Amino acid sequence: MIDLPIDFCARAAAARRELRLSQSMLAREIGCKQSALSMFEAGNPTKLSGEYVEKLSKRLGIPLKPSSAEAGEGNPPAPECAGAPAAAFCPSFACISNIPYALGGRLFYRPSTVRVASGCVRHCAHCGEILETACPSCGAPVNEGACCAVCGAPYIAAQPIAGDAGEWSAARRNEIDSLRKFFRPASAP
């Protein structure tokens, strides 16, 4: 495993958003799983092996060694936003748009989908993450519910939690309810 600077995971996530890449777009480019990248960005550096971390570092222009020199100036232009409306979701398990629940002792997240022009880069109104407009596992259009109807993969990789999934998700739902009272996204009707 590579010895990473302490803030590398968070900086990788920020650099990716800066480049207007969704987690699945970047995962596809470097050849890892979106779920692994999601965990990595959330602060679990062991979720990606050294090979992928090096590719990530190169693609995002952030050095593996702490350094004062910052690479990666200038952003590419945003993609055209002319596609037909498609469902999209925020891939961050920590986002209040994703409602956790337990099934058979396992933790799942039901994303709140929004409609965006397909092929368009849009940010989550709650947390700023770039929305996913297709299943990160198979690329099928996004359906309602926690899992892809085509390949069966959960849309959002659940992070490991301590204790019972049912209790944890109930507490988190309460927390989300109270957070939402204080926050209304600008795009809400």
Residue 106 Cβ, how far from Zn ion at the closest point, in Å? Answer: 18
- Contact between 78 and Zn ion by CB under 5 A: the answer reads no
Stretch that binds Zn ion, among 9-17, 29-37, 92-100, 106-114 (CB under 5 A): 92-100
Residue 149 binds Zn ion, judged by CB under 5 A: no
Q: Residue 87: helix, strand or coil by DSSP?
A: strand
- Contact between 137 and Zn ion by CB under 5 A: the answer reads yes
Sequence-ordered list of residues with C-beta below 8 angstroms from that of 74, at least 6 positions apart, any chain: none
CB of 108 to Zn ion, least distance (A): 15
Q: Work out which of 140, 145, 164, 177 binds Zn ion, going by CB under 5 A.
A: 140
Percentage helix, strand, coil for the chain under 3-state DSSP, each rounded to 5: 30, 15, 55
Q: Does residue number 13 form part of the binding site for Zn ion (CB under 5 A)? A: no
Beta strands in the chain (DSSP E): 85-88, 98-103, 106-111, 114-117
Task: Determine how β-strand 106-111 pairs with β-strand 85-88.
Answer: unpaired
Residues of the shown chain interacting with Zn ion in the complex, contacts defined by CB under 5 A = 90, 92, 95, 97, 124, 126-127, 129, 135, 137-138, 140, 148, 150-151
